[in-house]
Structure 1
Amino acid sequence: MTAPSPTPDPAPTSGSGYLYRKVALYLRDHPDRPHKVGEITKAIEAPSTGAVAEAAKRMVAAGHATHHRDPHHRFQITQAGIDAAGALPPTTSGSRGGSRRSRGGKPAPITRPSGLLYYPRRLGSDWDINVLHKLRSQRMPVLLYGPPGTGKTAMLEAAFPDLLTVAGTGDTIVDDFLGSYAPLPGGGYDFVYGPLVQAMREGRPLLVDDATLIPPRVLAILYPVMDGRGKITVTTPNGAETVDAADGFYVCGGHNPGVHGAILTEALASRFTVQVEVTTDWDLAADLKVPKTVIAAAVDLNLDLAAGRIGWAPQLRELLGFVKVKDTLGMTAALSNLAGIAPDDARDAVTSALSRHTGKPVTALALGKR
């Protein structure tokens, strides 16, 4: 028998039902990670941590939350909890990893751990951040693919503030996932667990960035935790150790198809249940004050990139950098800098497109004579 779903109080002013509702709504609006009881208490201005803990435990008993202890008691809402709380009216508090609405009906920008803002985008019939939350709750691995600089990592950082990352290269080894020996200040060595083990134990998302640059034999370490088994074996000084994935653990990946050496194998592709193409949002670039002439040049260059005529074109990352340089050094320097950061084999095409659309001669930024 399960406990009833939380329902709104007709006149919520006090009592355990009101507190249960506030805890449920807070966890619903902050689904990305487990929250300490004290954190919830402070956020909802509850009378005591004990009362909040009891409300959270009732959610666990109903299957609407999971309970973690590390050694602090932490609670995180489940998809069943999100569904049950869906009929409740929205709270007035925002969420760093959520998708509160702005006046125009779009989700407000989300602050990433770096302090930079991420602007949610449509994905199917929902917003990308909400879709990622749903995929995590259902343990459906997602692969984001597209040119570098389109916002793949930014999207995941905005959705999951508790994200851990492995940066993939051709030199990535198994130890980069599982851990290795590290020197101690006083001499000797100790075994330090890697991000995969840490994410599994703490129930956190793991981003394998540039996953398709990593040798397939190394990536095979991920397969047991992506195909339902949910456990791995790590060899430590104490012998073989089995690590089980805690609730909330989630694997996501980034793939840049045009990068030399990036190969999406069938074995890896089959384990990413959802695969999403990420491209530059030109309307967003305009909203962020990128000049229309520069956007038009970037659009043309991206069409050439898609047709295989050039190997590089500016994406949102470069366009936002352009705005910063323009605001600091002026338009001419910003155009020259954008041309200068283009790879050698694409620089002529970039300078030509910028010159054509802006009506100004553009050359790569360089020092002149004294």
Structure 2
Amino acid sequence: MDPATPPADPAPQGSAEGRRPGHLYRQVAAHLAAHPDQVLKVGEITTAIAARSGGAVFEALKKMAAAGYATHRTGPHRFQITQAGIDAAGSMPPPATRPPRSGGSGTRRRQPVPRPNGDLYFPRKLAGATDVDVLRRLRDKRIPVLLYGPPGTGKTALVEAAFPDLLTVAGTGDTVVEDFLGSFIPLPDGGFEFVYGPLVVAMRKGRALLVDDATLIPPKVLAVLYPAMDGRRVITIPGYRNERVEAVDGFYVIAGHNPGVHGAILTEALASRFDVHIEVTTDWDLARHLGVPAPAVQAAITLNADLAAGRVGWAPQLRELLGFTRVRKTLGLPAAVANLAGRAPEDDREQVLAALRQQFGTDITALTLGKQR
């Protein structure tokens, strides 16, 4: 055993650690969160929170590190909270799924996967595996995927977690062919240089390309993708000497679609290019694990049921719930609830207010400036 490793003594009978599952973990997380700029030793944390077992504290710290909520340094063992740990607000990480018994079926839950911005993505179950694993397997077989669901459910986060080499085209009604292929840019000396677009770069370097909000892009523009996705895997660049571009191994196209968003049209030509269509909905259990208060989650579940039934046109998803949590920690619960109400479109405001009032039991209005103080 590493001499620097604290002994894994069991918590004494009747101690706080033994009586309340998760109590010690929350104490440890709160102490790290109160000292975000410090790298703390296990013994320092044990003393600071008056814990009876250094081993139990060490186990809690290792659990935080495994979830990405803390960094773990050795020689001696030291820990520092991460931004994800601060955002989790002391909530226990999602429980790991036990590995299957010999001869059984199932998979071990993957650890959280970092995204390029440093945030963590928690993989979800899909087709007997995890969503991250499934997307990687589909890429290996060159099977394109269309992800669809309301904005804010985590479609982009999933793709970023699955493919670290990802390039992205953010689709809008103003997206043009040059946004895929490239265009000339002016140089300081007065000349021009052609800069290749993300589609060309992805094809030549074997990278993944996400076409986000693909159904907002005019169909004539999207047609530039089709020869790159089919058996030819070749395109030309009309605006640059009709240069021929061939895709190398690893090149992959995945797209996102937000049904119900104004202007989003899923044409048959586009839908048929993607062999796999995956619906992405909000993970309510993950929202709870990330520190979203239960009443906010329940209000969101109610409103999403109304959304599915066509009674409202908007409902908060994971993105809005995580924003709710950040506002609550900064401005307090009443302001966070009022802000969530204010994020609803005007046509759906009353239904959203009713759902929030039912859960929080207070007089709620949208966040609005008051009189001068």
Q: Same fold (TM over 0.5)?
A: yes
Match of 1:205 in 2: 208
**Aligned partner of 1:362 among 349, 361, 364:** 364
Offset at 1:236?
4.9
The separation in 1 between residues aligned to 2:210 and 2:173, in whole angstroms, is 17
After superposing the two structures, state which structure 1 stretch, 239-248 or 101-110, moved more. 101-110
**Aligned partner of 1:126 among 122, 126, 129:** 129
Offset at 1:344?
1.1
What amino acid does structure 2 have at the position aligned with 1:341? R
Offset at 1:106?
2.1
Offset at 1:361?
1.5
Match of 1:248 in 2: 250
**Aligned partner of 1:274 among 272, 276, 292:** 276
The separation in 2 between residues aligned to 1:112 and 1:225, in whole angstroms, is 26
The separation in 2 between residues aligned to 1:324 and 1:109, in whole angstroms, is 20
Offset at 1:185?
2.0
Match of 2:69 in 1: none
Offset at 1:308?
1.2
SS at match of 1:299: helix
User: How does the TM-score come out when normalised to structure 2?
Assistant: 0.70
Offset at 1:235?
2.9
User: How does the TM-score come out when normalised to structure 1?
Assistant: 0.71
After superposing the two structures, state which structure 1 stretch, 280-289 or 140-149, moved more. 280-289
Match of 2:110 in 1: 107
Quick check: 1:234 aligned with 2:237?
A: yes
User: Which sections of structure 1, spanning at least 5 residues, go unmatched?
Assistant: 1-100
Match of 2:310 in 1: 308
The separation in 2 between residues aligned to 1:189 and 1:102, in whole angstroms, is 54
Offset at 1:220?
0.7
- Report the aligned-residue RMSD: 1.3
Deviation string 1:137-188 (CA, Å, 9 cap, x unpaired) is 0010000000000000000000111100011111111111001111112222
Match of 1:262 in 2: 264
The separation in 2 between residues aligned to 1:160 and 1:196, in whole angstroms, is 15
Match of 1:52 in 2: none
What amino acid does structure 2 have at the position aligned with 1:147? P
The separation in 2 between residues aligned to 1:367 and 1:214, in whole angstroms, is 37
SS at match of 1:247: coil
The separation in 2 between residues aligned to 1:362 and 1:173, in whole angstroms, is 44
The separation in 2 between residues aligned to 1:361 and 1:186, in whole angstroms, is 63
Change (3 A) 1:352 1:156: same
SS at match of 1:221: coil
Match of 1:150 in 2: 153
Change (3 A) 1:306 1:103: closer
SS at match of 1:280: coil
The separation in 1 between residues aligned to 2:146 and 2:278, in whole angstroms, is 6
What amino acid does structure 2 have at the position aligned with 1:226? M
The answer on whether the counterparts of 1:191 and 1:236 sit within 8 Å (CA) in structure 2 is no
Offset at 1:348?
1.3
